[in-house]
Amino acid sequence: MSLNIADYPTLALANLPDELRSLPQDRLPALCNELRAYLLHSVSRSSGHLASGLGVVELTVALHYVYNTPFDRLVWDVGHQAYPHKILTGRRERMTSIRQYQGLHPFPWREESEYDTLSVGHSSTSIGAALGMAIAADDENRGRKVVAVIGDGAMTAGMAFEALNHAGDIHKDMLVVLNDNEMSISENVGALNNHLARIMSGSLYSTLREGGKKALEMVPPIKELARRAEEHLKGMVVPGTLFEEFGFNYVGPIDGHDINTLVDTLRNMRKLKGPQFLHVMTRKGKGYLPAEQDPIGYHGVPKFDPNHHQLPKSGGGSLSYSAIFGNWLCDMAKVDPRLMAITPAMREGSGLVRYSREYPQRYFDVAIAEQHAVTLAAGLAIEGKKPVVAIYSTFLQRAYDQLIHDVALQHLDVLFAIDRAGIVGADGPTHQGAFDLGFLRTVPNMVIMTPADENECRQMLYTGYQHPGPAAVRYPRGNGCGVDIEEQMTALELGKGRLMRQGAGVAMLNFGTLLAEAQLAAERLDATLVDMRFVKPLDEALLLSLLDDHELLVTIEENAIMGGAGSAVNECLMRHKRPRPVLNLGLPDRFIEQGSQQQILALLGLDADGMVKAIEAYRQR
């Protein structure tokens, strides 16, 4: 369902950036108002990311107004805030399809539009990619400009500072825009500071600044005195000294909701040579009071009525796996003062809100710094603490070296609580937890557990916590299947599965929360069903005992088949010289598209119907 564009007369004139650039500047405030209203109403119909996009409406309009996109390159970081960009780049009529199967991608995506220069989803990649584009632009010498837009949260990651350091060193023409929405616009972001920004970004100031440097080259003591005086004076009015030290010309902070100031400043900065840094203050959720008051709650929203000023409550029923983890963590912390919880900026998503309030001195949000999160845990473990790293599967990929080198190699006592393992749904390829079993299984000293239900998740977390060495428990996004959770915590025997159903001919070996679907399929096939529980160590005794009475083994996992749990079963059979036909069911060798979890699992044949069809087809070969 599309929105009536007649309700947005100015936005109707700007379906593409070329059309936007043909508008007189005095029409831009009206355009911004309509764009913000269109964004609110489209997301309320489709679900998706809201507060971030509301905060960058003026910035998005100004960037496309001043820069000649797509010839000029505009690189968004993470991409939560790119909905206004999509609306202005020819995708306005498809916005209600965003994050849905075969709809618009939730983040900038190169295959979707020539205006999306970098496919993103993980944070802090924009400056590095933009620098690569700037190097290429310099080599081509066609006057192409490059802009990276990064948020203050993403700026906490080491990758961003590595790229800043390199950019300042090689001095290529590029602009980094820091979208700072950590707090509401402060008092110094007003008329005076906007005026200073215009002056500091203007050609006269730039010429005098660079000319003065050259004039003082022959008088080093005076040059150094002038440099220190400039830093001192700028430090009194702008927080730009850090970025100047990286070799950037810093301008700002300016009001990110003053469209005319943004346009004028960007026009000036587009003409400047070398690396430029523009600090823009915005308010997340701008223009929609509930989102301004609760930007975290309105970061990602379900379908809702924007007139009610309240998001719909999620349905009742079983607990989410994130909540199960959060409750276990609090229960464990109550009895063990050594427990320390670490998360890379995923407090809400990982179920850590209650723990962070009850145990603030034992809670560490390290911001978007997954590598540091893991090595911090290593340091804590060395000193006898019991660190638990709560992290999404897709983000653990970014800390693989630290997991190997700093934790597993030293056999340190660190528990990884891996959320969003398997299919996550609407966030699509960048966020599917498809690879953790494969990349963890190859690491020596690792124990890897795949709970089938809520109670197993709780008991496995306890098992991993008690294990003297690195351990991982991986569980999916969303709610459990309604199994009763035992309050008493009991450590499971390492590497032992459980027989769920005795059948004939086919033995189904399940790893994880697809067990309920596997049970339905096993009943229809009269197959044996085993909840394997452990990927590493594998229950080889149980596995080998099935070979005498079964002609076919079927492994089931919500992970990439290549290198995953099924591969561990194949390797075991070959190692023991007990070959047997094995059908591996899981995620195929491609990046998995967006859609609801149930929809994607069905498309991949990982529901009961799909399992039965795959097994019957394999037996008929």
Question: Which residues are tagged catalytic?
Answer: 284, 370, 398
CB 472 within 8 A of CB 451: no
Q: Which residue shows structure tokens 């540091």?
A: 372
The DSSP output letter for 7 is: G
Ligand-binding annotation for 288, yes or no, is yes
The first and second tokens of residue 533, run together, are: 């529980």
Spatial CA neighbour of 259 closest among 528, 65, 498:
65
Residue 91 is classified by DSSP as I
Q: Which of 146, 129, 150, 130 is nearest to 71 (CA)?
A: 146
Burial class (CB in 10 A: 0-12, 13-18, 19+), 142: exposed
Nearest-angstrom CA–CA distance, 62 and 261: 9
> Quick count: other Cβ atoms within 10 Å of Cβ 317?
10
Pairing relation of β-strands 174-180 and 48-49? unpaired
Residue 617 assigned ligand-binding role: no
Tell me how far apart the alpha carbons of residues 417 and 377 are, in angstroms, rounded to a whole number.
13
CA distance 526 to 506: 8
Calpha distance 97→434 (Å, rounded): 24
Please give the full DSSP string across 350-393, using - where no structure is assigned: TT-HHHHHH-GGGEEE--S-HHHHHHHHHHHHHTT-EEEEEEEH
Half-sphere exposure of 179 (CA within 13 A, CB side): 31
Q: Which burial class, exposed, middle or buried, applies to 493 when counting CB atoms under 10 A from its CB (0-12, 13-18, 19+)?
A: exposed
Only one residue has tokens 């893991």, namely: 374
251: enclosing H helix or E strand: strand 249-255
The tokens for 568 are 């561990």
2 to 6, 7, 17, 95: CA distances (angstroms): 12, 12, 20, 8
Alpha-carbon gap, residue 244 to 14, rounded angstroms:
36
Closest to 508 (Cα-Cα) out of 555, 559, 541: 555
Query: What is d(CA 352, CA 525) in angstroms, rounded to the nearest whole number?
Result: 41
Contact 427, 458 (CB under 8 A): no
Q: Side chain identity at 395, as an amino acid letter?
A: F
Distance of alpha carbon 448 from alpha carbon 464, whole angstroms: 9
Do 278 and 252 contact (CB within 8 A), yes or no?
yes
**Backbone phi and psi for residue 100, each to the nearest 5 degrees, phi listed first:** -100, 160
Known binder of ligand: residue 479?
no
Query: Does 181 belong to an annotated binding site?
Result: yes
Residue 202 is labelled as binding a ligand: no
CA distance 464 to 258: 52
Is 126 within 8 Å of 118 (Cβ atoms)?
A: yes
> Known binder of ligand: residue 38?
no
Closest CA to 59 of 38, 16, 88: 88
How distant, in Å, are the alpha carbons of 36, 100, 356, 410, 534 from that of 444?
A: 51, 39, 32, 10, 15
- Find out whether 41 is annotated in a ligand binding site: no
Question: What's the one-letter identity of residue 434?
Answer: A
Q: Is 77 marked as binding a ligand?
A: no
Tell me the binding residues.
Answer: 80, 121-123, 152-154, 181, 288, 370
Tell me the binding residues for Mg(2+).
Answer: 152, 181
Tell me the binding residues for thiamine diphosphate.
Answer: 80, 121-123, 153-154, 181, 288, 370
